[in-house]
Structure 1
Amino acid sequence: MTLHTITSTRRSFLSGAGLVIGFTLAPRMFSAGASQGVQAGGDSALSQMNAFVKIGADDTVTVLSKHIEFGQGPFTGLATIVAEELDADWSQMRAVHSPADDKVYANLMFGLQGTGGSTSIANSYVQLRKAGATARAMLVAAAAEEWKVPASEITVEKGRIKHAASSKESGFGAFAGKAAAHTPPAEPKLKDPKDFVLIGQELPKLDTVSKTNGKAVFTLDVTADNMLYATVAHPEHFGATVKSFDDAEARKVRGVVDIKQIPQGVAVYAENTFAALKGRAALTIEWDLAKAETRSSEQLTADYEKLFAEKGLQATNNGDVDKAFTGQGVQSLEAVLAFPFLAHAPMEPLDAVFIRAADGSVDIYTGAQFPGMDKSTAAKVLGLDPEKVRVNTQITGGSFGRKAQFGSPYMQEAAAVFAATDGSRPLKHMWAREDDIRGGYYRPMYVHKMRGAMDADGKIVGWDQTIVGQSIMAKADLDETSVEGASNLPYDIPNLRVMSHNTTLVVPPLWWRSVGHTHTGFAVETFVDELLEKVGKDPVEGRLALLTKEPRHMATLKKVAEMAAWGSPSPEGRQRGVAVVKSFGSYVAQIVEVSIGEDGSPRVHKVWCAVDCGIAINPNVIKAQMEGGIGYGLGAVLFNAITLAQGGKIIQSNFHDYRSLRINEMPVVDVAIIPSAEPPTGVGEPGVPPVGPAVANAWRRLTNSPVRRLPIVNVLSA
């Protein structure tokens, strides 16, 4: 059998001689097809010691990334960390995905292998520094042994090992095999950050070239001889199940091979994608709606608001909030904010390829955000020992949280589709765009009730906030992801109460890029802005006065105000808005400049962004993530909503009615990174939360109308 498009990558990864080093991990072997990477090394063999660093005979250094690369930059970031301690030249560096192994490649913040929560660099920083330093020490030891000189006299710089006194010099590859025989140091010496050469530099991303010249391989690109293509018909209502179906017309479609019911719906198997989709469209299915969600979004919102009157789960209760609202001279403000369901809508929908080997084992090629979980889930569905299943993680066209599913429900479906066959043919399971948009696992809808109290001096003395929405963690008690960013409010407000209500729906929820901060950041930053305006305070100066105990918040806000020349007149017909949100350990402040567009909706012209994310591993990646987060968040606040019609059917289906920000709508973005010696924190998500409230605050100044419901454009056109 020929597995197309990735054959050459697999061959280069497995052949030749060299060194693989990992930090305090036992040796292991790699299976065929275990990794698909970017710029993998040439024909250099491995002499492996373990898991994170491969050094080839051709001097290439390949980092095995335990984190999936779906555009957020871990290949480049992790390679930068290794290269720094290894003293490699950037031109030597390569990256591939590691095998699926929850123990060896665990995310140190999760306890299992997984990418999410903007943790890729934060949890790997010390681990990968040690891996690089260990590799360097072993190479030096091997060179010292062969050259018969003290290791202390050997230097390494830009990928060259040197002994000045004897004028001896070598690349890494010449000593890779010998280095593998040396015992790694228990605690390799790490550099003083003041001596960093690569960390902090704007190095080019490792995956840029292959993604722009078409050589990058995604799951959609993976094919095999004699492969079946399968797609599943899903219900139009969440919670519905198949009651009966008629496949007579579907089986008449040329290219359709078979049709079978699986737990998730009805699977159509065909010789090509077109036939699979056409066959699915020809199915007649009667759905059982007995346990389905049949309420509309409007009905759900009304039901959510009824919970404001009931006792909720306490997230924060400082001071005496009720008393704060009754003081002499106190002014108060109230607001109810509604947030819709949001789909992730990555460019590459969910997909996977299954291939059964002669020994009965199965290779799965997919964009696995939690590869160990996908592996165990597939093994259970297929009735195999987990050691008989190999998950080969592919670079992926986006996720934004979509592929980070505990319990791996997508893999349950894909494996069920494959299990329903005899396994004799490879199979590609695919979701169309419509499946993805209507497939659930949304950012939950939320409703917030806000109350604020200001004393006679214009100080915010009371804050009362109630949040109603699904618990992403399916908890009966307080779900921190529902209240993060509100329960730990950075502003100095003496009387603060935040309550939460967990709702239960059959609409499956999931974290969406920046999770709870997607709604709490908006609610907090728009309400603070309104309170400051009510007492005549400047939005920046007013915030700074409330942040005196939060120096990093203050520094980030001051920086963005300086960048935007806050206080200077805005161009005619434009207004500016500001927001500052800490999420995933990073501080991001943004100022936007907005006008009223020709269609009456907001037109965002420019965004200034200041970010403090600790040590900046690669400023190029950080800036790209801020820019991408701003574009993603702006599209959501302006346009995005998943809505249920009367009766519970999902209205949206594709990018025509769930549209992303278009290139002509993308504002100019200016990013500044705050210098810091603090440990690195996340950048994949923190660029998203501030842009929405900053736009809403500017829009309120333009129109004298506060934004109480998202998305802004849909509300304006309603």
Structure 2
Amino acid sequence: MSAAEQDAVIQASRRDILKGGGALTVAMWLPTGGAQANDADVTKSGTWAPNAFVRIDKDSTVTVLSKHTEMGQGSYTGLATIVAEELDADWNQIRVEGAPADVKLYGNLAWGGAFQGTGGSTAIANSYDQLKQAGATARAMLVTAAANRWKVPASEITIASGVVQHKSGKSARFGELVADAAKLPVPTDVKAKDPSTYNRIGKSAPRVDSKAKSTGKAIFTQDFKLPGMVTAVVAHPPRFGAKVKSFDATKAKQVKGVKAVVQFDTAARSGVAVVATDFWAAKKGRDALTVEWDESNAFKQSSDDLLKEYRELTKKPGAVARKEGDVEQAFAKAARTLEATYEFPYLAHATMEPMNCVVKIGQGSCEIWNGEQFQTADQTAVAKLLGLAPKDVKINQLYAGGSFGRRANPLSDYVVETAAIAKAMGTTDPVKLVWTREDDMRAGYYRPMYVHWMKAGVDAQGKIVAWQHRIVGQSIIAGTVFASNDPIDFTSVEGAKNLPYHIPNLQVELHTTKPQVPVLWWRSVGSTHTAYATECFLDDIARETRQDPYALRRSLLEKHPRHLAVLDLVAEKSGWKKQRAADEVYGLALHESFNSVVGEVAKLKKTPNGPKLVSVVCAVDCGIAVNPNIIAMQMESGIGYGLSAALTGAVTFKEGRVEQDNFDTYPVLRINEMPAIETHIVPSKNKPTGVGEPGTPVIAPALANALAQIDGKPVRSLPLSTQGVKLA
């Protein structure tokens, strides 16, 4: 597919495993060392088992078992595309189901296969080879089955649109061959297609989840019901670190429908749950509850207190994350030095569907229904709480109404909370935990607050000879299974430590702080703040040295052809070099995250009511474009999410209490506020890289750089609303 064809498609668009006999199920596992077929068991019913990535039923339906959660990012469609390509299946026969929790089969290969979960924009990237091999293996077995039946060489068999055929005119749909195929040994040396022969990968296809979601048939956790199910609503402490001292449930129990009031304590938090026949009864009971909190060890600082501490830390050397050359010596010789400080608030994930979960505790077992993002962690944590083996905790994947990292919690906070409530009740009835929007805003977890101090030295010609970057903020991975002995939390410095610009003397430092505020990865993690600081500071340098921002970046990227290609493409498509109208200003930013490179140009128009963001031009190199339309959707989604945070996003504290509780105090971008967006994909033959997150961190610096073109004043603190900046 040519770049022009991709652009035309993208810009035209926007907005038990085994269920009976006669099914062919193919399971492939690719550990770090390569492909390995799982042990096959051919049963009398003609079904090849045990667990699987691909299942083909008698009616020719091809079901892809997705180890990754569908949270709106289009992973189900992308994963299905890979399998459909290798099978030469008809798109209309493709279905996707969430796979069960099974780390051996479904471990995330991008994380070494040791954990099962969705995150880090890894769904397509880590599954690409794995699903190609699974699809190719299923195809080979169908071809062999047909060749045996028709007594012809397998080399003479072809498949097109889900039909297996021979030049003699004989043909069969997949379903007609699965019983025979299931009896065959599973081949271990099947060769997947060469990308040059692709006829589906690289072309857009309808999303596999669109119809169910648009007709209301898709089941999210909030929709899920079981016989006898009760609903829990929780009173969480008003300050982090507080514990339940005592509570009076007298009035709560008088609310019609309330069945129980129980206290729980988990590693994440303490609380009191009101359990009732339905949500409204539980909420009314929670509102009638009286709780006395022990706040002796609670967080009681305000945001201003933390900012003051962080600013002081920027004046002191931190742990060195990257060091090249000698910055002090280079600063001493520089013709001029520039300094800047950038400040970023805590951010809420603000998912469309607040946290929720369904748990049913049985005799020596537990079953969970959830928009599941972190199977390994959740399964292990719940098993520990209940004194079970992880294998006795069954997890059922449902659709998730957004996450942005929130549902991938190392402490499994809200999932364990649900199990703890069910355990405290001593019930075998299913318990559904429902957080209100207010709970979701105030109970944690957040993107950490950060302060960056930067200093650059330039020579007489304006060339950057020294670059020092000091970052202050909380660690996301401290105290989790992802922690190491390294004092540097890589999530705090990503995007800064791997800065692609060639600067001979460069140093990145980190101060890790330890407030009691619970923090977590947030869409594009560390890049949410490092991209802003680095790209805005680079524009500051360009402005102070009278250099074109595009030309300056180009001069620093000779060792990074991918970045250079993206930069050139976004400059070309945005008309960066062309004459602009007097009321037009452009802002540019470029950043790599999750192995993808994204460039964005924000186009502003000056109006009597202030600057208006008219459009955003985006270019991305994400390897092979499995489904260009999904990539465009994710760039648009990421830009909208990042723009929302840049304009108004901030979680603030006053004496330890969160000041925001709903969308009136934590505004999010509305659809009528979205600019026009066009996405251009760099043609590539490399394996796919991430697309769910890389579009997010680039929009804020692109917008800020455009705003600075108007009056020459850099924006060094987010959100823009706190700096008096409001778009028309």
Aligned to 1:540: 550
Which of the residues 418, 423, 429 maps onto 1:425? 429
Matched with 1:277 is: 283
- How far apart are residue 407 of structure 1 and its match? 2.9
Q: SS at 1:250's partner residue?
A: helix
* Paired residues of 1:25 and 1:50 also in contact (CA < 8 A): no
* Per-residue deviation, residues 426-463 of structure 1 (Å, max 9, x unmatched): 21111111111112221100000011111101101111
Distance 1:557 1:686, change over 3 A: same
What is the SS of the residue equivalent to 2:76?
Answer: helix
Q: Number of paired residues?
A: 689
Aligned CA RMSD, in angstroms, stands at: 1.9
Report the Cα offset of residue 87 of structure 1.
1.4
The CA deviation at 1:687 is 0.4
Deviations 1:271-302 (A, max 9, x none): 11011111111112121111111110011010
3-state DSSP of counterpart to 1:400: coil
Of 400, 403, 406 in structure 2, the residue corresponding to residue 396 of structure 1 is 400
- C-alpha deviation, 1:717, in angstroms: 7.5
Q: 1:249/1:353 Cα in 2 relative to 1: closer, same or farther (>3 Å)? A: same
Structure 1 position 237, deviation (Å): 0.8
The answer on whether the counterparts of 1:245 and 1:284 sit within 8 Å (CA) in structure 2 is: yes
- Quick one: which of 301, 318, 326 aligns to 1:312? 318
> Distance in 2 between the 1:709 and 1:430 partners?
35
Partner of 2:302: 296
Q: Give the distance between the partners of 1:56 and 1:473, measured in 2 at CA.
A: 43
Shift of 1:564: 1.0
Residue identity matched to 2:109: L
Q: Partner residue of 1:26?
A: 38
Could you tell which deviates more after superposition, 361-370 or 630-639?
A: 361-370
Deviates more, 1:246-255 or 1:107-116: 246-255
State the distance in 1 between where 2:217 and 2:151 align: 45
Alignment of 1:560-709 (within 5 A): 560-595=570-605, 603-645=612-654, 647-709=655-717
Inter-partner Cα distance in structure 2 for 1:17 and 1:45? 5
Residue 146 of structure 1: how far off its partner (Å): 1.3
Q: Give the structure 2 partner of residue 405 of structure 1.
A: 409
Match of 2:329 in 1: 323
3-state SS in 1 of match to 2:64: strand
77 and 396 in structure 1: CA distance in 2 versus 1, 3 angstrom threshold: same
TM-score w.r.t. length of structure 1: 0.93
Q: Distance in 2 between matches of 1:569 and 1:45?
A: 68
The 1:332/1:305 distance shift into structure 2, 3 A limit, reads: same
Distance in 2, Cα, partners of 1:570 & 1:219: 50
Q: Which amino acid aligns with 1:325?
A: F
Q: Distance in 1 between matches of 2:423 and 2:609?
A: 51
Give, in angstroms, the shift of residue 142 of structure 1: 1.1
| Cα displacement (A) at 1:678 | 1.0
Quick one: which amino acid aligns to residue 539 of structure 2? D
The answer to whether the 8 A contact 2:100-2:395 is kept is yes
Pick aligned residue for 1:137 from 129, 137, 140: 140
1:452 is paired with a residue of what secondary structure? strand
Q: Matches of 1:403 and 1:424 in 2, distance apart?
A: 25
| Contact residue 339 and residue 447 of structure 1 kept, 8 A | yes
2:46/2:182 contact within 8 Å kept: no
Aligned residue number for residue 69 of structure 2: 68
Displacement after TM superposition at 1:641 (Å): 0.5
Question: What residue is the counterpart of 2:96 in the other structure?
Answer: 95
Q: Residue 206 of structure 1 corresponds to which residue in structure 2?
A: 208
Query: What SS does the aligned partner of 1:706 have?
Result: coil
Equivalent of residue 453 in structure 1, options 445, 452, 457: 457
63-72 or 588-597, which deviates more = 588-597
Give 2:330's aligned amino acid. Answer: A
Q: Secondary structure at the match of 1:245?
A: strand
Q: Does 1:377 align with 2:381?
A: yes
Deviations 1:565-611 (A, max 9, x none): 113344443421000001111010000012467765x5321000000
Residue of structure 1 equivalent to 2:531: 521
Q: Which residue of 2 aligns with 1:549?
A: 559
Other-structure match for 2:507: 497
Following superposition, the deviation at residue 53 of structure 1 comes to 0.3
State whether residues 343 and 442 of structure 1, in contact with CA within 8 Å, keep that contact through their aligned partners in structure 2.
Answer: yes
Query: Take 2:391 and 2:331, find their aligned partners in 1: how far apart are those partners?
Result: 62
Does the CA-based 8 Å contact 1:200-1:615 persist in structure 2?
A: yes
Alpha-carbon deviations, 1:650-685, whole Å to 9, x = none? 000111111211111100000001100111100000
Is the 1:575–1:702 Cα contact (8 Å) retained in structure 2? Answer: yes
Within 5 Å, give how 1:113-262 maps onto structure 2. Answer: 113-164=116-167, 166-262=168-264
> Residue 333 in 1 paired to residue 343 in 2?
no
**Contact kept? 1:45, 1:56, Cα under 8 Å:** no
Letter in 1 for 2:634: Q
The answer to whether the Cα contact below 8 Å between 1:375 and 1:389 also exists between their aligned partners in 2 is yes
Q: Distance in 1 between matches of 2:455 and 2:364?
A: 62
- Cα deviations by residue, 1:311-362 (Å, 9 ceiling, x for unpaired): 311011111111221226x1111111110001111101111112345x5533
d(CA) in 2 for partners of 1:678, 1:508: 38
Q: Which one is further off, 513-522 or 359-368?
A: 359-368
User: Hey, what's the Cα distance between the residues in 2 that align with 1:150 and 1:191?
Assistant: 20
TM-superposed CA distance for 1:487, in Å, is 1.2
Question: Is the CA contact (8 Å cut-off) linking 2:37 and 2:186 kept in structure 1?
Answer: no
Cα gap change, 1:352 to 1:496, in 2 (>3 Å): same
Q: Which residue of 2 aligns with 1:3?
A: none
In the TM superposition, residue 425 of structure 1 has moved relative to its aligned partner by 2.0
d(CA) in 2 for partners of 1:78, 1:489? 31
Q: Deviations over 1:58-78 (max 9, x none)?
A: 111110001011111111111
Aligned residues of 2:47 and 2:182 also touching (Cα < 8 A): no
Moved more, 473-482 or 20-29: 20-29
AA aligned opposite 1:281: D
Please say if residues 359 and 369 of structure 2, whose CA atoms lie closer than 8 Å, have aligned partners that are also in contact.
yes
- Measured at CA, do residues 45 and 137 of structure 1 come closer, stay the same or move farther in structure 2, by a change above 3 Å? closer
Offset at 1:195?
A: 0.4
Larger mean Cα displacement after TM superposition, 657-666 or 17-26:
17-26
CA distance in 2, matches of 1:691, 1:122: 23
Query: Unaligned stretches of 5+ in structure 1?
Result: 1-9, 30-43
Tell me the secondary structure at the aligned position of residue 689 of structure 1.
Answer: helix
Once the two structures are superposed, residues 88-147 of structure 1 have per-residue CA deviations (whole angstroms, 9 ceiling, x without a partner) of: 111111110111111110001122111101111111111110000000111111111111
Q: CA offset at residue 708 of structure 1?
A: 1.1
Aligned CA distance change for structure 1 residues 387 and 225 (closer, same or farther; 3 Å)? same
Match of 1:5 in 2: none
1:6 equivalent in structure 2: none
TM-score where L is the length of structure 2: 0.92
Opposite residue 556 of structure 1, the aligned amino acid is: V
Q: Percent identity?
A: 50
